[in-house]
Structure formats: structure tokens, C-alpha cells
Homo-oligomer: A and B are copies of this chain.
Amino acid sequence: MYRIGVDLGGTNIKAGIMDESYKILIKDSVPTGAERGFEAVVKDMAELVLNLMQRKSISEKDVIGVGIGSPGSIDPAKGVVTYSNNLDWNDAPLADELMKMLPFKVKVSNDANCATLGEVKAGAATNVDNVVLLTLGTGVGGGIVSEGKILEGGHAGGMELGHTMLLRGGAACTCGRKGCLEAYASATALIRQTKEAAKENPESKIHEICGNDLSKVNGKTAFLAAQMDDETGKKVVSEYIGYLGDGIVDFINVFRPDVVLLSGGICNEGKNLTDPVNEFVQKNCYATANNFIPKVVTAILGNDAGLIGAAALVD
């Protein structure tokens, strides 16, 4: 039997067919073209799935179902995208519409939830039951797997792990509050922190690294400066580790998972990121002397995590 996963993004619709051990047999993508409206996007999604099946000569009866990871707030019970800013969808009945075009069961969950489940099925948390994943990108997203299943929350709009307070009254967050984890631990935030520190420290190697053009600062710049023993770079990285570390401690104090996964571009730093984060977390969790403290590790599936997790939505 085969499973089909769809990773619906603002830019592309990716789809893949997997065997039962979540090995991807074929995958492909088409542009989303969300501006064409909901029906056109769903139609392309169905055609992409059928095309992949045809190319691998897979017949309907051998497919368990189709899972979709979608951006935005999802009602998984109804298969509805209640709100997606990226797609400009409101209460879009994604599962029902796709089931009109495909002879399969269709399930929908949030893309970050799917990425978490993907890492559990075939990635950095294989055979682990309780996982917290944080994605450090433009924003901070994430997902929770509890007892082997995605924790969806009671209603659409949950699992917004980046929109939990870290420093009340602090940096403005995209959600309207001031001081959310996202405003301190996203790649966007790290870039802001790096630029601010560079401006205050004209002698910093950060200027050299970005060719004296601070608009070229990216998520790697501070780490690179720190490795060159630049004091400003070291301070930016150390403060960033503290922000991220406290966010992770919060989720450990609530979920006490087996492992915490980090994904997103900043994870390319590898142990330069995870070693100090683990040191911070080991010191700062609640009742450290008496309770299990999970390791923080980087996710390994990259862009395929969402596809694989989506394929795992259908039982």
C-alpha cells in the first residue's frame, strides 16, 4: 500500500507518493498560483496527485489516502482551512473539495504539525512518542506530537508556539503583541539583533563579513563573526541562545517531551547552535535535579518533513 502527501505552500504545491515505511518513491511540484482562487488550486493538487500515480503505475486500490499539510489555521476534524494569510483563504473546505476529485480519504493538518509528524515517522525522532518541534525561519512555528499523534488543540488556531510571550512589552511581533518568542528567536529576529549590535559596534567583524553593507546580514552572520572570535558576534549569538533557550525551556516545562527538534535555516549551524542551547536547557528547566530533560537536536528531513508527515495523517 502507498501513502500520498501534499505540502501546500504559498509558492508551490508539492506532492509525493511513499511506501509504508515513508520512503518517497516519487515527488514533484507545481506553482500554487493562489491568486487564481481556491478551486483552481485544489484542481491542480488533484491533477498532480493523479499524475504522480500514473508515472509510478500505482492504482487507486493501493493508496491508503491523501494527507495535506497547509499553512494557516486548520480544523482537522472537518478538513477545513479556517484562515490562511498566505493563501488568502477563509473557511476553505479543502478535504471535501479534493475528495470530489480524488477517490481517497483526505486529511488536513497545519504544515508545521505535519513537519513534526514527518520527523517522528522517518526523521530525527523516529519511534519517539512525544516531540516538540520549533521552526526558526521568517517566524517561529512548530508542532507537538503527543503519544505518537499530532496534538491539534481544541479549535483551529492552536499550536502557534511562536506566539507565546517571552519578554512582555518587548519587540513588536507580527501578531500584534509585543515580546513573543517569534520576535526574539526567529531568523528575522536574529538578523535584526545582528544589525543592531553591528551598528553599536563599528569595530565588529560583522561589518567585514557583510561587505560593510548591513542589508546583507543574514542568519549566519553572527555565528560566523563569533567563530572569528568577534566579541559582538559572540554576544549576539549568546543572547540569541538565551532567547531560544528560554522558549524551549517553556515548552519542556509544559510538555516534557522525549526530544526537542529544531528546524529552519539557522539549524545549519548544527552543534554551534545545539550545544549551547542544550547547556542552557539543562540548567534552566523546572526541577532539573529530579526530572528527565530532553535533548535538543536538529531535524533532519528538511523540506521533505511536511510531505512525509502529511502522508502519515491518514490511517
Contact = CB atoms under 8 A, between A and B. Distances in A.
Interface of A: 73, 82-83, 90, 129-130, 146, 151, 153-161, 163-170, 175-177, 179, 243, 246-247, 249-250, 252-258, 284-287, 290-292, 294
A185 B168 CA distance: 13
A153 B73 contact: no
Given A290-B82, A290-B83, A246 B165 contact: yes
A290 B90 contact: yes
A154 B146 contact: yes
A257 B73 contact: no
B146 A254 contact: no
A246 B287 contact: no
B291 A254 contact: no
Contact of A177 (B155, B167, B249, B294): B249
In the assembly, how many copies of this chain are there?
Answer: 2
A258 B158 CA distance: 11
Contact of A290 (B73, B167, B257, B287): B73
A292 B153 contact: no
A129 B284 CA distance: 32
Contacts of A176: 284
B291 A177 contact: no
A157 B83 contact: no
A165 B251 CA distance: 10
A146 B146 CA distance: 11
A164 B251 CA distance: 8
Contact of A73 (B129, B154, B177, B291): B291
5 contacts: A73-B287, A90-B290, A155-B257, A159-B254, A254-B254
